Amino acid sequence: MELHSLPPCPGLTAGIYTFTSPQLRELARYDNPVNPLPRQYVSGESYRYLGRQYRLKVIADTVERIVLSRGWLTISVADPANRRAVQRLIHGWYRAKSEHVFNERLIACHARVETLGITLPALGIRTMKRRWGSCSKTGKVTLNLKLIQAPRALIDYVILHELCHLVELNHRPRFWALLTRVIPDWERLRDELNHYEFGEI
């Protein structure tokens, strides 16, 4: 992701601000999702959810559903060989889970910075190839759908990073000072995020 590309507000547009080399290195480390190998959507594949790994099991059933239990992500579908149907169900499941979890974490994270005068922002969710999160001109926070695979602590880190942009619109020293005040161990969390094994959704 390219969080050094910022528009005149918390959003992201290239070339508006000039950063020092250390700042650019920090942004590169935050803004660095890995592009995983393409999925086959067949039994045996590994999927992650909130920091835990699950094996996919595709079974035939007249009722489409997904059950997460005892290390298995079990998908019931009319034709297990129909990979498009399996993909559709998995993506829909991740989307539904992310809407619930991300909203829950946004409320929890907002409580940590509310004294800074930050209003609870609207939340958007989408798949992004180069960003973990972003903040729009209107203050809307958008999160990468892939984050639903990560532990809650890493999700919170990205949310708090974006919430700090509602106070400091760029990545100048005042932003990093605020981020350190809000998340004293943000560098450790950033490194964990950058080394976490994300899969395609």
Reported as a single tens digit per residue, the pLDDT across 107-142 is: 999 999 999 999 999 999 999 988 999 998 788 999
Please give the pLDDT value at position 136.
Answer: 85
- Min mean pLDDT across 15-29, 86-100, 145-159, 186-200 is at 15-29
189 Cβ neighbours under 8 A, 6+ residues apart: 153, 154, 157, 183
Please give the pLDDT value at position 9.
Answer: 32
Q: Write down how long the chain is.
A: 201
Domain range 21-37+98-195, CATH class = alpha beta
Please give the pLDDT value at position 33.
Answer: 64
**Contact between residue 76 and residue 63 where contact means Cβ atoms under 8 Å apart:** yes
Has residue 2 got a pLDDT over 70? no
pLDDT above 70 coverage of the chain, percent: 82
DSSP labels, 22-72: HHHHHHHHHS----PPPP---TT-EEEETTEEEEEEEEE-SS-EEEEETTE
Has residue 19 got a pLDDT over 70? no
Gap between the Cα atoms of 157 and 147, Å rounded: 11
Has residue 173 got a pLDDT over 80? yes
Gap between the Cα atoms of 108 and 94, Å rounded: 21
The residues that bridge with 52 in the sheet, in sequence order, are 49
The residue ranking higher by pLDDT, 17 or 181, is 181
Biggest alpha carbon distance in the chain?
Answer: 59
Please give the pLDDT value at position 30.
Answer: 59
pLDDT band at 31 (very low <50, low <70, confident <90, very high): low
Instruction: Identify the three-state secondary structure at position 83.
Output: helix
DSSP secondary structure code for residue 129 in this structure: S
Reported as a single tens digit per residue, the pLDDT across 41-79 is: 999 999 999 999 999 999 999 999 999 999 999 999 999
Domain ranges of the chain: 21-37+98-195
